[in-house]
């Protein structure tokens, strides 16, 4: 018995890239730091908001490669001479990845009150009707 995968099913021709994206997303893990929200701000725009309290603009990097949006935070700790009686504010490195659908582009990013906002826009697809000519054999 042969196992059919998403990309090898006969009715799903050309969806092998989707299968790779699903596998990559499953491998990325489900860490909970930093917490984030994803909201739809209009019909064709979205916003990802990450809670990055304690990070400066220079501590964060945002990259987009092969439809994968990756946000990294690197916090240089300067704890010399400081004695913590309780340390509850997380100040550790993180990497959070999101797979973007085709047609979704990053419009920009802003920092506001310890929140990193990444705005996304989806271009409205053009409706294309194609007529296929039938040749005689």
- What per-residue confidence (pLDDT) applies to 66? 87
**pLDDT for residue 1 is more than 60:** no
Residue ranges and CATH numbers for the domains of the chain are 31-78+87-122 (2.60.40.790)
Does the predicted model carry a pTM greater than 0.85? no
**pLDDT for residue 39 is more than 70:** yes
**pLDDT for residue 90 is more than 80:** no
Q: Which residue has the higher pLDDT, 90 or 134?
A: 134
DSSP for the chain, please give it: -PPPPGGGSTT-TT-HHHHHHHHHHHHT----SS-EEEEEEETTEEEEEEE-TT--GGGEEEEEETTEEEEEE------TT---S---S----EEEEEEPPTTEEEEEEEEETTEEEEEEEEPPPPP---PPPPPP-
pLDDT in tens, 121-132: 988 777 788 888
**pLDDT for residue 118 is more than 90:** yes
- What per-residue confidence (pLDDT) applies to 53? 85
């Amino acid at each position: 018995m042969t196992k059919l995968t998403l990309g090898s099913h006969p009715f799903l021709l050309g969806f092998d890239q989707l299968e790779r994206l699903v596998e990559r997303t499953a491998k990325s893990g489900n860490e909970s730091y930093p917490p984030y929200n994803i909201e739809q701000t209009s019909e064709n725009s979205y916003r990802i908001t990450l809670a990055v309290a304690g990070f400066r603009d220079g501590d964060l990097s945002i990259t987009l490669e092969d439809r994968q949006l990756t946000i990294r935070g690197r916090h240089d700790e300067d704890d010399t001479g400081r004695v913590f009686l309780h340390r509850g504010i997380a100040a550790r490195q993180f990497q959070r990845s999101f797979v973007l659908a085709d047609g979704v582009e990053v419009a920009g990013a802003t920092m506001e009150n310890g929140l990193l906002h990444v705005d996304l826009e989806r271009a409205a697809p053009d409706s294309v009707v194609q007529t296929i000519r039938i040749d005689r054999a």
